[in-house]
Amino acid sequence: MNPQNSGTSMVPPSSALPDVLPTDRLNEGGMAIGPLRVNLRRLHPWRNSLNVAIAWAEPTLLLALACWSTPSLPVAAAFAVWVIVFFLMGRTFARLSILGHEAAHRLLFANKRLNDFVGAWFCDYPAFVPYDAYRRQHMAHHRDELGANEPDLNLYRGYPITRASMRRKLQRDAFGSSGWKNFRGLLLALTRQSSRPFALRILAVQLVLFVLMGLLSGRWWLWAVMWLAPWLTVWRVLNRLRGIAEHGGMEHSTDRRRTTHVVRQTWLARMWIVPFNTGWHLAHHADMGVPFQQLPQLHDELVASGWVTPEIEYRSYRALWNALSGG
């Protein structure tokens, strides 16, 4: 069942939000307590090391396969291979960004220095994200979801919008307009003393990637066409679709069910839009100290308690995006 909008709001009606907390396992906000809290907050350093390695192995193998196979293919087939790899590279940024998000919450590794080093240099900087600035901004998001101090408010407010407006937003993302604004901001950060250090770190990582991709592939253009361009285009579309599916059209409230959507998870959505369990987003906002590996378990606890009801769950991301665009 899909939640019913109230007027022009995406917020579920009060009748779908039963007041059933706290329980002996969850506090009034949905955070686990007691032994359950200890269990849910366990970190998985070795698994996360593997996750970061795989997040890099996938694009490396994709690019290597394309570079190796396309010279012997007909032009049309070679072009098709590069197009497929181009779109899959957008998924790479989704994965790196979510791992960087985990690191911002210090959920990758118990050792803070290791957590921040991997999160910054192997996840965020390659994805053009200023790690320390992102952490400050993201913590502000958690402190005041959709409130006056919400740093991402412009992304979430005003929904539902018309289909034409949604189409224009996605077209700006798909054709690089939104991405260029972000990239231009990074370049402008070089001119300001306060932001220059993080901008230089990002550009240094991008320079390393540019050199490595060019030398290993023999194609000087590989970084620009198969790394920067997917970030400017494919990733912007994926990022918007995920962001509005998390909080689009919701409202400022201490009840996280009024700030965050609930969407049924599928393997396809988890592959493209919401990797590493980030689709269980209400559970993440109920307790941001729970690593992504345990978010499905926390979500099940919220359902079992009666706090998350079928009335507030969208059957798919497509259904939610349709509602967000007036469908």
Q: Express each pLDDT in 38-62 by its tens digit.
A: 999 999 999 999 999 999 999 999 9
The string of pLDDT tens digits covering residues 190-247 is: 999 999 999 999 999 999 999 999 999 999 999 999 999 999 999 999 999 999 999 9
pTM recorded for the entire structure: 0.94
Beta bridge mates, 26: 32
In percent, the amount of the chain with pLDDT more than 70 equals 97
- Give CA–CA dist 207/212, Å, rounded: 9
Residue 215 exposed, middle or buried by CB count within 10 Å (0-12, 13-18, 19+): exposed
Q: Looking at residue 8, what is its pLDDT?
A: 58
The string of pLDDT tens digits covering residues 144-184 is: 999 999 999 999 999 999 999 999 999 999 999 999 999 99
- Give CA–CA dist 295/301, Å, rounded: 10
